[in-house]
Structure formats: C-alpha cells, structure tokens
Chain A
Amino acid sequence: KSSQGRLESFFKPM
C-alpha cells in the first residue's frame, strides 16, 4: 500500500 506524498513534506513554505 502506498499513499500520495505532499510537497510540503519536502519543501518548506517561504
């Protein structure tokens, strides 16, 4: 089973 990652898990808000 896999779930969709979100961008905020990798990049921080500026």
Chain B
Amino acid sequence: MLELRLVQGSLLKKVLDAMRELVNDANFDCSATGFSLQAMDSSHVALVALLLRSEGFEHYRCDRNLSMGMNLNNMSKMLRCAGNDDIITIKADDGTDSVTFMFESPNQDKIADFEMKLMDIDSEHLGIPDAEYQAIVRMPSSEFARICKDLSSIGDTVVISVTKEGVKFSTAGDIGTANIVCRQNKTVDKPEEATIIEMQEPVSLTFALRYLNSFTKATPLSDTVTISLSSELPVVVEYKIAEMGYIRYYLAPKIEE
C-alpha cells in the first residue's frame, strides 16, 4: 500500500515538466526515504535523478519498497488535469498494475481521481559515487537558462570554463562566436541573485547545449542552480526543491579526439 499526499500539488507538475523532454519512460522508486527516480535519456548521454523526501509530504505511507514504471508524457497529461492549488495524492495497492492520482481542490469541494496504467520498464541504474568537484558555481537559475538559450542560437556546444576571473560560457557556430563571463557577485539584495564560485582548480569542459537547455526546464523549481564541474566527470546541474529534495542532471562531456 502506497499513499503519498502532497499539499503543494503544482510541484509535481513542475517536476514532470522538468523531466519529460529528456526521458520518455521511467521507474519511480518509493521507499521510506522518499519518492525518487533515476533515468537516462535514450542515448545515455544525460541522466536525471530526482528525490522528493518523505518528510516533505503531508502524509507518506509506503509499506514496502515499490518501483512503478510510468510513461512521463501520460503522467503529465493526467497531472495537467489538476488545478494549480490542488492537493495531489498518489496511491497504489500492492500487486496492482495501476497508480491513482487524486486531486483535491483547496476547499475540498472538488475531488477527482485519475487512474493510470503502469508499465514494465527495464531501467539501468548507474552508481554515482560522491566526488570532489574542481569547481562549483551557484547562480540564479533564470540567468543560467538565459545563457543556454542565447548560446544555442549561435552554436551547438558550449565550453564552460571556470577560472579565478569567473565562469565563462563560450560557443561557436557558422555565423560567429559568443562568450559570456559571469563574475562572482555576492553583493546583491537577495541571496538567490548571487553568483558564487568555489574553485579548487581551473576547469574547462565542453557540453552539448541541447541537453543543457532540456535541464533548464527545471528553472520553475528553484531560484538558483548549482553547476559542479570536474575534468573527466559528467557535469552535475542541480536544482534544489525547497523542503523536499532535488532534481539533478548529469551530462557527459564532449571528449577531444
């Protein structure tokens, strides 16, 4: 028996929007820790890892570990039927092949339930060890989204370089080149507007902009984004989900031949 009640139902809609461009089908894993997911895109270049901790739910009952295979577009179709202020409850019984999403309006005058068929998905979990990163950049998520969008109109790949001067995003294409440098800036009115660079040593890596643009679909989930870089490791782009957990994206770098 599984029953997860999330007062801030719109958060689940945002989480789905943040993943479904990258991944079609995924197994949601439910345990005492929380509601989580790890899935790769079809080309195994990018990976998304989601954790919504059990403490973040108003009610969280998960009698035994359960893995539920869902088509994210179908799930999104159902969640779009929930109002933005609705409370969403996810329910599943042991041994059934469906999941129920229950939507309650804030004043309880409308209650809807949508039952979705589950699917069997062969998921390949990768072990992601904790690593020391050479550079960690924290910046406003809207700024990162703007940079990725702007650069993708010029080129297909971005070189992200961190030095003590700041973080530089560079691209090149048929029509020309572009460089955007963001310097560390802690003197802002609000902490979420700061750009903070923690650098152990300079690092420079190349990534496909198409994937980074997909990651920025998580922008509505968090005011800030953290980009962790190390040579010869996938970049980690993390959006913290307040009170709940995180959505992290891993992207393998382009390798020089």
Contact = CB atoms under 8 A, between A and B. Distances in A.
Interface string A1-14: 11111111111111
Contacts, number: 59
Contacts of B208: 4
Contact of B255 (A2, A7, A14): A2
Contacts of A6: 43-45, 252
A10 B257 contact: no
A12 B127 contact: yes
A10 B231 CA distance: 11
Interface of B: 40, 43-47, 124-129, 157, 206, 208, 232-234, 250, 252-257
B252 A9 contact: yes
A11 B44 CA distance: 11
A3 B146 CA distance: 26
B126 A11 contact: yes
- The CB with the most chain A CB atoms within 10 A, among B206, B232, B234, is that of B234
A14 B127 contact: yes
Contacts of A14: 125-127
Contacts of B257: 1-3
B45 A5 contact: yes
Contacts of A12: 126-127
A1 B243 CA distance: 44
A4 B157 CA distance: 10
A10 B206 contact: no
Contacts of B256: 1-2
A8 B44 contact: yes
Closest 8 CB pairs of A and B: A5-B252, A11-B126, A2-B254, A14-B125, A14-B127, A5-B255, A6-B44, A1-B257
Nearest to A12: B127
Nearest to B157: A2
A13 B45 contact: no
Contacts of A9: 252
A10 B255 contact: no
Contacts of B252: 4-7, 9-10
A7 B233 CA distance: 9
A2 B195 CA distance: 30
A7 B254 contact: no
A6 to B, nearest CB: 5
A11 B208 CA distance: 19
B79 to A, nearest CB: 28
